[in-house]
Amino acid sequence: MGVMMAIQYSENKSGDDFVDVLKMASVPAPKASPGLAIVKVVAAASNPIDYKVLGGHLKAAGWAMPLPFTVGYDFSGTICEVDEADAPEWPVGKEVFGVQWGRGKHDEGDMPVGGAFAEYVAVPVSRLSAKPAGISHEAAAACALVGTTARQIVNDCAEVKKGDRVLILGGPTSVGMISVQLALRNGAEVITTASPRNTDFVNTLADGISIINYRAEKWWESAVAKDVDSVIDTTGEEGGWEHAQKILKAKGNFVSINSFDVGFDPKGHAPRKFASFYALSNDPGAQDEIAAALASGGIKMPLVEPAYPFSEQGAKDMLSAQARGSHTGKLVMKIG
């Protein structure tokens, strides 16, 4: 295992042809060390953050941008090498999944960043979760980042509880679809936005979802969205924070994972309990919870099929589709 194949880029690029910088490269394979396991990747998933990082858009926010950079944060596979001190809990052959991510941004100290679009990935054992037998590697990879994000914004940021009225902007998005289901599981009344094209898809997720057709009416003017306890923004639409204040209760929460307009201080808009941009923090406990819910059927997360192939063109097609955002379901890549 001296070398491996990986999808990398050596320069940041944005615009319609941003995927041109993606290359299949032969690179040194990682090695295990204390606290660091090597996972043979079976499946990986893409997220909007992949093309945003590729474009260099997060460097100004203090995110590390090591180049060349191996694409991908979500992975699922099998441990193939581990330090003997970590082997009792994470033995060779154990099926695992996770998100190669830090706390509030993708980098964390000297830990590895990204790297999922490769034959092997070096992962801190503190980021690993055991893959439930009841879900595929594709589903496990798909749920890590978006599931953790949804779990944190619904339960920790907005603290959605029974009896709350919650508006989730972007029900068909990957984070949105899980957020809708988690809020319903918490006993909230859930309202979401979707186009007519995606209304049927949202209705397949769960019963009892109120859907605002954002092409026909402005959600902040909709009677169904008045006096909500929380607005959870997964789309980052222009003016979202400004409009949300028209329908939120005085102490209501606003969480956005795609817009900086609200700022970065959760307590900075008193008397609101939480109003801020939010980026996930790595949390294997949240991964475990979401994966268990998928395995039991308590949460649905449709995948776009077929999976993309592990090739240079496959990666380009996958990130192009991610950037267009016209799909419903999670995009995954079959690697091993």
- Cα angle, residue 304 at apex, residues 301 and 306 outer, rounded to 5°: 135
Cα–Cα nearest to 294, from 76, 106, 121: 76
10-residue mean pLDDT profile of the chain (336 residues): values are 94 96 98 98 97 94 95 98 97 98 95 97 98 97 98 98 98 97 98 97 96 97 97 96 98 97 96 97 97 97 97 98 93 97
- For position 48, what pLDDT does the model report? 95
Supply the angle between the helices 174-185 and 137-151 in degrees, to the nearest 10: 70
Name the residue with tokens 């009892």. 208
Q: Quote the CA–CA distance of 74 and 133 in Å, as a whole number.
A: 18
Name the residue with tokens 């997220």. 47
Cα–Cα nearest to 235, from 197, 192, 265: 192
- For position 77, what pLDDT does the model report? 98
- For position 169, what pLDDT does the model report? 98
Q: Quote the CA–CA distance of 297 and 278 in Å, as a whole number.
A: 28
Q: Token pair for residue 257? A: 């994972």
Q: Quote the CA–CA distance of 316 and 331 in Å, as a whole number.
A: 13
Using CA atoms in the order 17, 105, 137, 130, what is the torsion angle rounded to 10 degrees?
170
Cα–Cα nearest to 278, from 46, 111, 103: 103
- For position 185, what pLDDT does the model report? 97
- For position 274, what pLDDT does the model report? 98
Q: Token pair for residue 241? A: 């924070």
